[in-house]
Structure 1
Amino acid sequence: MSIIVGFVPTPAGEAALTAGIAEAMLRNEDLVIVNSAREGALVDKSVAAADVLEQAGRRATEAGIRATVVQPPYRDDLADEFLDVAREVNASLIVIGLRHRSQVGKFILGSHAQRILMQADRPVLAVKADGALS
């Protein structure tokens, strides 16, 4: 089994990575770091640069965790793609970062985190950027 972390190059993504590494150490499990881009998108600020992903993987290995970084493209829905990866790797825990968004922002743009929380068929650890657990 493994722990899966949704990683984006933001404070919330960094908090999720930190929590994922801690959980992988505690549970003695591998870590799968997921950073996904919309298929065909020319620019996507949630996509981490190769050096950022390499550093994320290195943080895990320096902590004694076997880590894999994956960047599966998604076509229609990021939450569905992320949950598919969680099932594929038989994740025992999903770790995601949360950021504050207004109700209007959630209504207009939707919330990937909310969909993952509601639709996941395994435990989800949601972490705020300040490190507080939700």
Structure 2
Amino acid sequence: MTIVVGYVPTPEGEAAFDQAIKEARKAQSKLVVINSSRGDALVDKRYAGETEIEGIDERLGKEGIEHIILQPVRGHDAAIEVLEAAEAHQADLIVIGLRRRTPVGKLIMGSTSQRILLEADCPVLAVKAG
């Protein structure tokens, strides 16, 4: 079994990562962590730095979870990167984080989350922070 988690260094990304670890432990699965950037800005706060990636790698190693960490910068949006990683690694589950929304914001979901939920060929587990 393989689980793909879309990771960003935010509370939502951390919630998705934590849940993905739980799911990987429970199913004794391989975990594919994907953190991407379009590469169209000098600074992308959603792209994890070297220290953050080392922390992820260390944590998964201590947990004994087989894993791969991907950080593509190919000009694609995050939804495409997660969906392509899920297809390439034959994912059985995708885990993503969702942001809290205002009442008006609840009428529409974020385009990245919505695209993953609608286009994924496997189940998607969406989690909220806190």
Q: Deviations over 1:84-112 (max 9, x none)?
A: 111001111100011023446987xx520
Instruction: Answer with 32-41 or 3-12: which moved more.
Output: 32-41
Mapping 1:47-126, distance limit 5 Å: 47-102=47-102, 103=104, 110-126=110-126
Deviation of 1:4 after TM superposition, in Å, equals 0.6
**Quick one: which amino acid aligns to residue 80 of structure 1?**
I
Residues in 2 aligned to 1:100 and 1:111: alpha-carbon distance in whole angstroms = 14
Percent identity between the aligned chains?
48
Unaligned runs of 5+ in 1: none
Deviation of 1:23 after TM superposition, in Å, equals 0.5
TM-score normalised over the length of structure 1? 0.86
Q: Quote the residue 1:8 is aligned against.
A: 8
Q: Is the 8 A contact 2:34 2:81 kept in 1?
A: no
Unaligned runs of 5+ in 2: none
Aligned in 2, Cα 1:106/1:70: closer, same or farther, shift over 3 Å? farther
**Quick one: which amino acid aligns to residue 5 of structure 1?**
V
Q: CA RMSD in A?
A: 2.0
What stretches of structure 1 move > 4 A for 4+ residues in a row? 102-107
Instruction: Answer with 36-45 or 25-34: which moved more.
Output: 36-45
TM-score normalised over the length of structure 2? 0.89
Q: Is the 8 A contact 1:98 1:127 kept in 2?
A: yes
Deviation of 1:75 after TM superposition, in Å, equals 1.8
Q: Is the 8 A contact 1:97 1:129 kept in 2?
A: yes
The DSSP-based 3-state class of the residue aligned with 1:126 is strand
Residues in 2 aligned to 1:81 and 1:68: alpha-carbon distance in whole angstroms = 14
Residues in 2 aligned to 1:84 and 1:73: alpha-carbon distance in whole angstroms = 13
